[in-house]
Structure 1
């Protein structure tokens, strides 16, 4: 690289590989030579993949947060918790607001849109219309690339149950999957390959209902939802293999629960079962279970290993205002570091350290309305380039 006269090329390459995606895009404005160099790097699939992996491997992560303000405006932000001293309460957060086209542009009310899903720096915003995700906006904020996905072929008598978005390593492309159901307990599923102009129907089990789109994640080419089997009331994890386009179930651990959620922890699937104590309803405990690798489950291994128990933690509100499970208790949201679990409680965000067992306020408050939190990593993965490869 002639731009760096006294710097070996491999050192310069390594520096660029560890710079955030949006910084690389911004540095194109330095000069014509920087513009040419960075454009070539951003279009290089090998560089893009290495840059993405570097940020995925970091011990700390950013979070994509969608929330409603008191004025019913939808806000999208990237939150990065910074832990600078684990021995005391040394913790703070950086918040960066994101702006998307179509959201609050006059013909679209911003609160109709919400950040549903994310994979490799690509965010899918879902527009809700009478319970149906009528529009999907796929975007990469770091590259300022946006694309509306073609409409679904499912009629509006069905309501959206679950939406997933993941990477297909076989085709080097990304897929959207939608699960819908109607009042007659009929379930449909369909898949859309990014860059194409249509959806395709999939086979899916009947008699299931996705419980909550906010309790969804994608990990290692598999999408996961919490579902209820309507005939028995039993809760299970519904899994979708993005490459094989196959659905399958994994049963819950044999443990009592009032609330369940799951996150990515240490590159593994972590299930949290939250249980309010019957003897003292002002206390609740949180069991953390780690899923066994799928290949081992197929061979007969137990699907879950109990990793730890958090709590009991105290209820912070003495009255019920929503009728929801664990009302008034901290609710686990996401891991922001491998040992820091983010809780939301009474509009505030708290961080719980798995080792010190300390629960600390990270200085974010006033987030009471329709808050959704996702893991997020900035990347150079192009949305528009998929149109040429699908």
Structure 2
């Protein structure tokens, strides 16, 4: 029998980094790394100074804190999320976690037993699939359409007596698709009708191109009977190394979440939580500028896409930090991605990392995480890809 960790695959980003070993990149063609959706710049200087002050002057920041997170941060996130979605969320319905991946892990721990099922649209976020594997939970693949949007009717056909949840990500990782409000509502209604949970991961919500609430789920006074909402502070405030995420759910579910978090980490990192709180209270204008920059880079993808379209490439999805492409070559995407390292000095992830083993769709797709490239860098990226 396999151990829990042996039941899943190697971390894709780490696997891709190993492709760089022994490769020398010429001075006129330095590496372009579009493999990981994480800011490479540190937090803005005022936030770093605030973090330093916490470290120097707040003795309690170096101790264990509340398992479900700092009360002030829970209250602030409840308030701002209520405003953002025009809904009603109480601080007691918020848990702070050590990153959004831990929020997903905690949610699954409260929902599933060995042999249960969770429906994941494909292409899926690989860490979700990995955690389900290591939890003994079957990930049921839900194929998406040409627009990378899943069909609730197709999902309904996959529900069994072992189904415990449907998990969606919007804006999507890896596909970039921004799920329309009506589609999110349809999945919520489907989950409620079958007595299962809907997990909505909105890690990239701060970079959604739309204005106003991206969906109306929190406007339902009983949202908590079905919805488990996940969020990350990492992308918004460049706090990836401090691991601060969040889970919003019913108070009864958070009582179960507390068991998981207390056992795994005892509490989220205190300094990171203080940083997230300071960012939420002080950096709204700065974050709006970050969003504008990401949207400008998204436009640069669209502007440069004709270079690839002429060579047979297709843009399948674009949003958040991601462009998701179909390539025109006969070789599988995992082989192409390795060739791109050697021949074009580009590191990206192949679609095979986002699908069940052997799925033909993944073999012809690539994910480009463009957030760390400026518009000039995106032009260079597309020039190199056009020459493959």
TM-score (norm 1): 0.25
Structure number with the higher strand fraction is 1
Structure of greater Rg:
1
- Specify which structure has the higher proportion of helix: 2
Q: Which has the higher contact order (CA 8 A, sep 6+)?
A: 2
**TM-score, normalised relative to structure 2:** 0.25
